[in-house]
Chain A
Amino acid sequence: MIAQSLRVLILTLLSLSLTFSWAHAQASPSVIRIGVAAEGVGGRPYSYRMSLDVARAQGLLEKEFARSGTKIEWHYFRAAGPAVSEALASHQVDFVFHGDLPSIIVRSTGIKTRYLMPLYARSNIYVAVPAGSQIKSLTDLKGKVVSNFRGTATQLVANRVLSSVGLAERDMRLVSLDTAGVNAALATGQIDAAFCMLTTFGLKDKNLIRYVFSSNFQPRFSAVGGLLVTDDFARKYPQSVDRFVKAIVQGAWFAGQPQNRDAVFDIWAKSGVPKEYFEREYKNQDLKVTTSPLVDDFVVAKYKAAAADALRFGLVRKPVNLDGWFDRGPLNRALAALHLEHFWTPTDASGKPAA
């Protein structure tokens, strides 16, 4: 009698533990692979300007997933957006940071992802020319050899900038160069002009280049970059998606507090871009705005504009439908759990604080 009940007990326990371990396996994967469409100077596995960078530097994801034994793998892609899209297509990554244009391109190919939150919501772009150049303004770019990082969010921004003065890509000879390539090509005068970012400040300081245009964080030219998760992963591990988003929101919260401004620049400087460049670039910018995680009207409008512009500029060949792509669930739950529902101010489609 006792023996029998003991056997029943053991069997029950065994099956229970099996059930639990199965459920546990389903609740959190053994590894989460993150693809970042960026890279630091000289290939450093760090990026900048994002809330994600804060989460990475503070090990927020690693801490969040330590208790379930989930390993976090970071992959930084020098070839940026296009390479991350390929990694998505071949199921090499679960979460990605993608700029708006590559996100739209990925969606146009039928790869299934969900949009979780923006990682940066404002960006700045410059048009640089060698110091001795005759080029004075954007309209002078006509017929010139101009570099741009094709397939990344910058390409879309450049197209917007060009079209604001009635020009298009076909009016110039566009060379695709990555961030490191731009500096070399500008310094040696191999290109007439470049669409570039703050990473060219060093050349400017040495008086090797001039800027003929800066978008000054104007919302209409700005790109946005966001966090995407594969549909597969989100269906299999919904709780892990919630925990992931929560960790990044914590990073954004840190970045958004004025007293942390200096610490955030220190974190971004891990990428190899001098801290001083961030101080200059973000002089008149509130990091709370530039790293806001809210999927607000501005962000949605930006992606809709990205889809429309990508089609207009011939970067995708058919209209891209964004319905059902934005998944605000994980973000809203994270904001509630962290009591941060009112920390950020939503902005309207034009980028102004919503009334």
Chain B
Amino acid sequence: MTDLSHWADIHKPSTGLRTGPLPRLPSIAVWSRFPALTGLIVPAALLAAWFGVTWAHWVPEQILPAPAAVLEALDGLIRNGDLKSNLWISLGRVACGFGAGTLAGLLLGAGMGFSDGFARFVRPTFLVISQIPILAWLPFFMLLLGIGEALKIVLVAKAVFTPVTLGTSAGIRDVPARYLELARVLQLSKARTLYRVVLPAALPQLFSGFRYGLTHAWLALVAVELLASYEGVGYLLVYSRQLFQLDVMVAVILVIAITGLALDRLLSLADSWLGRRFGGAP
């Protein structure tokens, strides 16, 4: 669940996470003018394939419902209020879990980033805990916390905790030593150094941690809701499966995907806004 390969850099502290903007496709006029469209090519092709396959009845409707049926199911979910109520519940859980996980991750990550001694002390334990997937924690936490809200929030928080901790500690440790030297020379207070030097320099990696955290939070939540829940989008998914309403099921999968994408875009916008505000350099 928690893919630590993204965080290999923790062991080689000099490299940052950010690799800069992705290389663009060879400059075909249209794509370079509307870069947003490039990302739509694959989804459009998949949608067309979906239309084609169901229209030609290559896959029976009992296995893959037609796009029109899914759209109708989505409309039904919106009309009867099921989508809104369940989505709000899921988002509420993500918000609580993300908040708790981020707070814990920031604290531990900052500790590990500022103090090598502390990092040596806790890192092995932290890495072991990170390696246990969410679903492996589930039976244990179910016994401990029951199947109520606490279970969902703790598991979401756990999913967020790992990437945020890693992002925070790496971000802080990678603040170039000369920036800190400069701060010392300018005799900035500790708080000012943190706010004007460390934070802006660590921000990109912090936000990478947040973004991974949020993605993992959403994935973990849906997984938990699939197993033990009476509300939420994961519940909607299982419910529709159990009643063999495949059109509703596919509609819910789409909603889950779009919500996840929206959450990620939201954080990315916050990232660039904060980046501009702090100017990136002291």
Residues of chain A whose beta carbon lies under 8 Å from any beta carbon of chain B: 82, 85-86, 89-90, 102, 105-106, 108-111, 145, 150-151, 173-177, 185, 188, 190-191, 315-317
The answer to whether A151 touches B230, judged by C-beta atoms less than 8 angstroms apart, is no
Listed by A's residue number, 16 A-B pairs whose Cβ atoms lie within 8 Å are A82-B242, A86-B244, A89-B60, A109-B61, A109-B244, A110-B62, A111-B62, A145-B148, A150-B238, A150-B242, A151-B242, A151-B243, A176-B238, A176-B239, A315-B243, A317-B245
B 143-177 binary contact with A (CB < 8 Å = 1; else 0): 10011100000000000000000000000000000
B271 at interface, CB cutoff 8 A: no
C-alpha gap A151/B62 in the complex (Å):
16
Q: Which residues of A contact B241 (CB under 8 A)?
A: 82, 151
The answer to whether A173 touches B60 (Cβ under 8 A) is no
B143, B147, B243, B246: the one contacting A175 at CB < 8 Å is B147
Cβ distance A39 to chain B, nearest Cβ, rounded Å: 16
Complex Cα spacing A173 to B85, Å? 14
B residues within 8 A CB of A89?
60, 62-63, 244
A176 to B62, Cβ gap below 8 A?
no
- Add 9 more A-B contacts to A173-B230, A175-B230, A191-B147 (CB < 8 A): A82-B241, A85-B244, A108-B244, A111-B62, A150-B238, A150-B243, A151-B243, A151-B244, A190-B147
**Interface membership of B229, Cβ < 8 A:** yes
Q: How far is the CA of A185 from the CA of B143 in the complex (A)?
A: 9
In the bound complex, residues from chain A placing their C-beta under 8 Å from that of B60 are 89
Interface residue B100 (Cβ < 8 Å from any Cβ of A): no
| A30 CA to B238 CA, complexed, in Å | 35
Cβ distance A311 to chain B, nearest Cβ, rounded Å: 12
Can you list, as one digit per residue, whether each of B236-258 has a CB less than 8 Å from chain A (1) or not (0)?
Answer: 00110111111000000000000
Closest beta carbon of chain A to B217's beta carbon, Å? 22
B231 at the interface (CB under 8 A from A): yes
Nearest B residue to A169 by beta-carbon distance? Answer: B230
A145 touches B244 (CB 8 A): no
In the complex, the 9 A-B pairs of residues with the closest C-beta atoms, listed nearest first: A151-B242, A89-B62, A173-B230, A190-B146, A82-B242, A150-B242, A105-B244, A85-B244, A175-B230
Q: With both chains docked as a complex, state the minimum distance between the C-beta of A87 and any C-beta of chain B, in angstroms.
A: 11
A305→B147 CA distance, assembly (Å): 34
Q: How large is the interface on B (under 10, 10 to 19, 20 to 34, 35 or more residues)?
A: 20 to 34
Cα(A151)–Cα(B242), bound, Å:
5
A188, B230: Cβ atoms under 8 Å? Answer: no
**When chains A and B are docked, how far (Å) is the Cα of A108 from the Cα of B229?**
26
Q: Is B95's beta carbon under 8 Å from chain A?
A: no
A150 to B5, CA, bound (A): 39
B99 to chain A, nearest CB (A): 24
Minimum CB–CB distance from A181 to chain B (whole Å) comes to 8
Tell me if B263 counts as interface (CB < 8 A to partner A): no
A90 → chain B, closest Cβ, in Å?
A: 6
Write out the residue numbers on chain B whose beta carbons fall within 8 Å of the beta carbon of A188: 143, 146
For the complex, what is the distance from the CA of A58 to the CA of B4, rounded to whole Å?
Answer: 54
Q: Per a CB cutoff under 8 Å, which of B61, B231, B245 touches A110? A: B61
Q: In this assembly, does B228 line the interface, its C-beta being within 8 Å of a C-beta of chain A?
A: yes
Determine the residue in chain A with the shortest Cβ distance to B241: A82
A87 to B128, CA, bound (A): 39
B201-258 contacts to A (CB < 8 Å): 228-231, 238-239, 241-246
- Contacts known (A82-B241, A82-B244, A150-B242); A174 close to B146, Cβ less than 8 A: no
**Chain A residues within 8 Å of B229, by CB:** 175
Q: How far is the CA of A82 from the CA of B242 in the complex (A)?
A: 5
Q: How far is the CB of B54 from chain A (nearest CB, A)?
A: 14
Contact A145 B243 (CB under 8 A): no
Task: Output the least CB separation between B85 and chain A (Å).
Answer: 11
- Bitwise, B34-48 to A at CB < 8 A (1) or not (0) is 000000000000000
Give the residues in chain A near B147, CB-CB below 8 Å.
175, 185, 190-191
A174 to B243, CA, bound (A): 15
Q: Which residues from B are CB-within-8-Å of A102? A: 244
Residues of A within 8 Å of B239, CB to CB, are 150, 176
Q: Which residues of B contact A108 (CB under 8 A)?
A: 244
| A317: B residues at CB distance < 8 A | 245
